Structure 1
Amino acid sequence: MATKAIELPTAATSEKASGAGGAAAVFFIPKSVITELYTSGISVGTANTVTNPLDVIKVRLQLARNQLAAGVKPPGMIATGINVVRTEGVGALWSGLGPSLARGFFFGGARLGLYTPIKTVICGENSKPSLEMKVLSGSLSGGLAAAVTSPIELIKTRLQAAGRDPTVPKTSVGVIRAVVAADGVAGLWKGAMPGLIRSAILTAAQCATYDEVKRTVTATTGWTDGVELHLTSSMIAGLVTTTITNPIDVIKTRMFVGGKSYSGPMACAAHVLKSDGLIGFMKGWSASYARLGPHTVIMFLTAERLRKYAGLQSL
């Protein structure tokens, strides 16, 4: 990892020479980490923009069971998308894009951008980390990012789930006001725990799978870093990640939208199990993969290209 650093002066550094040889308080951020964060943020933001319509459809599918009469089968992914366009217009497919971009840059940048630095700290710069260490690194970077940015995810999800209901806020500020009025400031972190768990598992599955598959494919085929290697690895990573994270995603979505309807993640999971059975935890899997598959591919392809331009090592 590069040793260059960006020096951020704190309040104590403004008068470096004051006192008898008073030492300046300086916080060093490695330049490579800053580069990791912004290249990752741009990569995830690009993927979020392209796949936002699929994210809207996924949210609507996951909530469809609660919005229909008992015994009525909810529509599929294509029918849901057509219905959204027909009743709300094409623009509705990009509902919540603002928070999605903010979340992509800050949350996505942190969870993906911190993966390599954390892995390096845990395993050492020149070592070959095991799969377990890659999973641990992904879990730490994903969990940390989710804990900080959970309110942005809540706002995005509520905007995407709003539909044409006139009682539901249609702006980020409106959502914040409604949540704070109903649940207090702490309500902005409603669903944070399943979100944190999902993010930790998502990042671990996504990054560790991509990392491991990429090296396995390279050893098997002899491919060097290039589009075919990145595409193959990211497609497999997207499939694995979707399957692992879908149950947590269902709980997270229902808690984000349901507010005080559920006392916690376990209560929400029990409700899903009682009302829909085990299959309910896979609700919206096709829409999730339709989004997360391309999202993973776009994210890693963009990240690898940006990393090359920025002088960083390949993921």
Structure 2
Amino acid sequence: MATGDEYRVSNFNQSSKKFGASGLNVNNAHDVKEFNDEVFITDTNNHRVVVTALDGSLRRYIECQDESLNGDFDPWGIAISVTSEMYVTDMKSHVVLKFDTTGKLSQKFGSAELQKPYGIAMASANARSKILVVDLKRCCVCIFNHGGILLRVCGHRGKGLNELDVPRLIALNSKGNWIIADYGNRRLIIIEGEDNPPRSVSIKPENRNYLVRGVTVDEKDNIIVSVISHKTPMIGRHCSVLMYNSEYTYMGCISKPTDVYMPRGMCVTHKNEEKSLLVACHDGIHQYTFVETTSQTSHSSEKSIISY
């Protein structure tokens, strides 16, 4: 498998461009996913999911007026199965909503188990995949079956290897390993199968003290991490998008220091031969360019710190 040495962002320290046609109104986006040449964005403050083409042109809005919700639709995380089922976490109503990709609601689950669901992912690429839901208040990952029945809870609040501190988003690599953005502990937690002990990957490039907000992987299992510096007040915090290779070695900073504000969920898109990274941010979706390279020299010699 190629590593980040062979598949890198064109010119680390990039300036992004805004994704979407002019007039595309996205307010406080929290997550973004690609599926079947469409992009799905949780447009949280507008209480909807925005669906666009890969070029950013608007396709449709997905809204939910279900009376059982605790107020307005409050979408945060999003995952889409191989059978075109769209799962959205609703933070305010502490549920997972299941739609088809046209927006037809078919199921709700998790209200008895979830407190503040955020990140969500399909555990495998089969039609009856388990569903992984990150609960940032309970500090755990709840595992549901395809029918929405809770099977297991992994983790609890703390700083140990089996513990999490306000976890945010979750991604899976090609091996099915879970990669969890463990926000308060400033690290990624890697789970290589439900019954194996986790790994901890500290996210402290260039000795910066980062809180980890979001995570995604590309098709070569390079890991992309959205982070924010640990500083108060919120204004003036340093936000970045970082790249690690599949062996958890730091490759470089994709974004310029002031290029993104409050970055969260991300995905890698493919349009013809072009590859892009989309980053959900407070002010919309930012887009970076990916390219192939034959260079064997890492952008940074700094290694991540891995605990077992």
When the two structures are superposed, what TM-score results if normalisation uses the length of structure 2?
0.27
TM-score using structure 1 length? 0.26
Tell which structure's C-alpha radius of gyration is larger. Answer: 1
Higher strand share: 2
Quick one: higher RCO (CA 8 Å, sep 6+), 1 or 2?
1
